[in-house]
Every structure is written in structure tokens, then in C-alpha cells.
Amino acid sequence: MRGLSSTQRDMSFFLPGNDIGILLIHGLTGTPVEMRYVGKGLARAGYTVYGAQLAGHCGTEQDLAATGWQDWADSALAALDHLRQHVSRVFVGGLSMGAIMALHLAAQRRDGVDGLLLYGPTLKYDGWTIPWYSFLLKFLIYTPFGKRYVFMEKPPYGIKDERLRKRVVQNMLSGNSADAGLAGLPSFCLQQMWALSQQVESELAQIQVPTLILHAREDDVASLKNPLKILQAVAGPAELVLMNDSYHMITVDRERDQVVARSIEHISRFAQPQHSNLQRGIPQPAQTRMQAQA
């Protein structure tokens, strides 16, 4: 795992609690700060929470562009191993690309992940703010111009709450990437995201752990095709809950309290010994449910 450069800050957080651990993974170009509200809510419920920081993040575009998806995965796996030293069971949660990374961890460490919390999982950027002609990127991104291009964030920046959006955008555009993430996505990193998504899609059928998917009905970044693909492909029990008053960043937006409550409900339901890795020798039939957030 790569160490921090001189331009990066360590924004990871560790909140000690009981014998059940929750690993939280932020999104691409994001920061552990976007997971802190949910992390604190889970910690108040008694769980041990680790908000990890992925390789290359919380620094400059150059820091991020110097890494690839394998580096991000290595840092997430190292965080999982660290948390495992303090607890007996681990649920892995992630936002956007972090949710896809959580799926990858569950496939790679079948004896190390006991459940998943997927917030706005993004296999493909296809939300309502993504231009219809975005499919051309797969061709243009490999041209000399495309290789140097940086895709800038655009309104509403994944946040429906206008006051919160204004504060986040101010931090983002002021260069405070450690708190608000980067304002732009280097094209190389988008290529790496595509590679990660392709890898995870090939792994979905291997995932047998209980999976909760929370996704905004009006997600501006990732359409409902993303959670539905995951819901239908994973082998274990899975539930999709649609949020009605948020955009992509559901861990910080208007329904963040419901995100915490739903997460605690899922953990409580599946953290009992009968759902532990010791019982995974006998495959269980997948149970899928889809519901709207009241």
C-alpha cells in the first residue's frame, strides 16, 4: 500500500466500540469525511467503526492519478485487516465507488466480511446529470487530449440539500480536497474505475453475505440500473431500499439519519452467530427485496 505524499492529509477515523466492526469506504475523488456522519451514528449504536482512506486520496489530482484501482483495493484490504485485529465480525460499507470496492472485498475475503452496506453503488456513471453522449468517452479518453482531460464536478454535486451543497462546493472549489474531495476527476482515474467495475461485475455471483443497498431514487450520478444489477446478481440475501429525498451523496444528504437507521437495522439482523462465516459452508438461497423509504 502506498504511503501518503507531502500533499495529502490523513483523514481516516477510528471509533472504538464492541466486537462488531464496520469498515466505511469513501467514493472516488472523495474523502472519509463523507462517511463520518454515518460512522458516528453507527458508533453511537455501539459498533467499532473505521473510516478508511483510499490510496491517492485527500491530496492533489496528481496524487490520485499516480494510483490505480489495485492501489485503492490494497489500501481497503489493509484497512479490513487492521479492523479485524480489533473485532470478530466485520460489515463493510461504502459510498459510490466505495460501495463497489466493498463488493470487491467481500469477493476477495470471503472469510473476512460478514455483511455489506452499499450506499449509492456506482458501477457506471449514468445518472440524470450525465450527458447522453457520455458513451463516446470510451473512444475519446484514449486520444492525446483525452488522456490529459479532467472531468469537473457539476451541479447539484450529488447533494439535494442546498445549504449543505453550498458549503461542500465552497470547500471543494477552494482546494480543500481533504474535507470535500477533489473538484475534478482525472481521465486516467475514470479508466481505472471502469476496470474496477468490470472486475466486480465478474465477482458478484460469488458474494453470499447479507447485502443492504440504499440508493436515491433521483440519484444524479448513478441510475437505478446500478443497484438493480447488484440486487439480481449477488448470491446472498439482498435488500434494496430507495431513498426519496436525496441525491447521490446519501450519507450526508437529507436522509442521512435514515441511512444510519437502516444500516443499524441490517447489522442487528445479520450480526448474530448463526449468520457468521462459520455457517457459510452451506449455501443459502438468495432473498431479494426492494422497497421505498417511507
Q: How confident is the model over 128-168, as pLDDT tens digits?
A: 988 765 665 666 677 765 666 677 778 899 999 999 998 88
pTM above 0.85, yes or no: yes
Domain boundaries, the chain: 13-292
CA dihedral 234, 238, 239, 240 (to 10 degrees): -10
Tell me the chain's radius of gyration from C-alpha atoms: 18
Q: Quick check: helix, strand or coil at residue 291? A: strand
Beta partners for residue 291, in sequence order? 241
CATH 3.30.1300.10 fits 13-292, yes or no: no
| Higher-confidence position of 51 and 276 | 51
Model pLDDT, residue 121: 98
SS3 call for 132: helix
Q: Grid coordinates standing for 55?
A: 490510496
The 10s digit of each residue's pLDDT in 83-110 is 999 999 999 999 999 999 999 999 999 9
Q: In 3D, which of 11, 10, 6, 7 has the Cα closest to residue 59?
A: 7
- DSSP one-letter code for 173: H
Q: pLDDT over 70 for what percent of the chain?
A: 83
Sorting pLDDT into bands at 50, 70 and 90, what band is 24? Answer: very high
Could you check whether the bond before residue 156 is cis, i.e. omega within 30 degrees of 0? yes
pLDDT tens for 202-215 read 999 999 999 999 99
CA distance 186 to 38: 28
State residue 33's pLDDT score: 94
